[in-house]
Amino acid sequence: MSYTLQQIAENAQKCRRVVEQALEEAGRTDDVVMVAAVKTQPKELIEQVVKAGIVSDIGDNRVQELMAAFDPELEVRRHFIGRLQCNKVKYIIDKVCLIHSLDRDELAGEINKQAIKHSLTANCLIEVNMGSEISKGGVAPEEVLSFADSLKKYGNVRIKGLMSVLPNTPDRQALIAMYQDLHALYEQLRGRFDGIETLSCGMSGDYDLAVRWGGSNMIRLGRVLFGERIKTEQKNG
């Protein structure tokens, strides 16, 4: 079931209250960016949500959907939050403010190549596979720092922080522990490299834990804002 524009606005306000409570519990005074994950949402609804001022950031999981809904006149920050294939980088490189899913050298090289063509520097997050899940992309936690070091050779790729999609589990204590480990890794990265400022973690089912225990300052919300997604046969990236 999808929600009306009014319901989406109310959902966003509820989420912001949850975030405020989590920040207070964590003793934090910084802000958390809410990225609306618009996977499968129609272009018309995305435009309405943005123009109504409900969100200022939207995230796409699929290049095809991003291209179909892209409007250069729409005042919104677009993020690419899904797994990205190298041959599709050229379509989004000049359309997104942040790529959340950098996890391999081949992809970094292609991002760098396309960024040079467009005379820009691509802001990216290193995706971390905290749960060691074969079905997900991401760099192993113990390899993040060395991977970040290896990216210094790409002059048009700027690493801004980390992103992670934690396992879908009802075990909240296990999630809290993983979020704490992720935050510790983020602090290590921040201590070693300049310009590290974004920890993108927390989705509809666990964003409160991500903010409270993981130090997240960017959350990606889909279902909790829009309702259950419309199932499609499209492939990622």
Helix axes 172-192, 207-214, angle to 10 degrees: 50
Separation CA 79–CA 61 (nearest Å): 9
- Cβ neighbours, 10 Å, residue 74: 14
Residue 17 lies in a domain: yes
Residue 237 lies in a domain: no
Contact 125, 159 (CB under 8 A): yes
Residue 95 lies in a domain: yes
Residue 235 lies in a domain: no
What pLDDT is attached to residue 231?
62
Per-residue pLDDT tens digits for 77-126: 999 999 999 999 999 999 999 999 999 999 999 999 999 999 999 999 99
Give the CATH number, domain containing residue 140.
3.20.20.10
Q: Which of 169, 198, 176, 229 is nearest to 35 (CA)?
A: 198
Q: Model pTM?
A: 0.94
Average per-residue pLDDT in the chain?
A: 94
Per DSSP (E only), the strands in 11-139 are: 33-37, 57-60, 77-80, 98-102, 122-128
Owning domain of residue 155: 5-226
Residue 233 lies in a domain: no
Separation CA 85–CA 68 (nearest Å): 17
pLDDT tier for residue 131 given thresholds of 50, 70 and 90: confident
Q: How many domains does the chain divide into?
A: 1
**CA-based R_g, the chain, Å:** 17
What pLDDT is attached to residue 140?
96
Per-residue pLDDT tens digits for 135-153: 788 999 999 999 999 999 9
Residue 234 lies in a domain: no
Per-residue pLDDT tens digits for 141-187: 999 999 999 999 999 999 999 999 999 888 999 999 999 999 999 99
Residue 133 lies in a domain: yes
Average of per-residue pLDDT across 49-62: 97
Question: Is the model's pLDDT at 16 over the cut of 50?
Answer: yes
What pLDDT is attached to residue 237?
58
